[in-house]
Copies of this chain bind each other. A is one copy, B any other.
Amino acid sequence: MNKNRLEAFSDGVLAIVITIMVLELRVPAEPSWHALLSVFPTFLSYLLSFVYVGIYWNNHHHMIHLADRVNGRILWANLHLLFWISLFPFSTRWMDESGFAEVPVLAYGFNLLCAAVAYYVLQQSLIRRQGRQGALAQAIGRDWKGKTSPLIYVAGLGLCFLHPLLAVAAYTVVAMIWLVPDRRVEHFVTRAHEDRSG
């Protein structure tokens, strides 16, 4: 069973999630700078969710590239990940409509946490199939980003009881960690690719 359709389907879902979020963006009530400014927090929450979907697409791209084949378990682990990502527009909208109130910000963070766990489960399924000596296991290495992120999410959930914006700050920190390019993985991807080509 090859991985092309898994990639195509995931690309489709991620492309739709990242794009339909804009349908949720309410246009300013009046044609004024003031009204535009009032939707600025909405814009930022859209940007944060856009960046998160971008990060998942990027990492998914690298991870599947290094994998060999997929089986039924992996297809469902992938759908599980897509399920939590598909809820981003919903939790973003609630957080935004509530004006960053406590419960919706907690729900948004919980959604991010579930997606991170689902990503980890998918990654482990792929590694188990390929073996500990495979390209994926070696590229990921100790995976400090994957292990740190859930901890920061949980910290953010705790901070939310102090002030919801502290939680949003924690979620933004995780996004920043992933935005910084991970040279090690990319190096492995490039090498694995060259090994196959030549």
Contacts and interface: CB of A to CB of B under 8 A. Distances in A.
Given A18-B82, A27-B97, A103-B31, A61 B89 contact: no
Interface string A14-32: 1111111011010110011
Contact of A11 (B8, B94, B181): B8
Interface stretch (A116-124, A131-139, A165-173, A185-193): A185-193
Interface residues of A, number: 62
Interface string A70-88: 0111011001001100110
Contact of A20 (B23, B97, B102): B23
Nearest to A70: B61
How many chain copies does the complex carry? 4
Given A27-B94, A94-B28, A9 B11 contact: yes
Given A8-B8, A11-B5, A18-B86, A181 B72 contact: yes
A44 to B, nearest CB: 13
A143 interface: no
Contacts of A17: 19, 22
Nearest to A9: B11
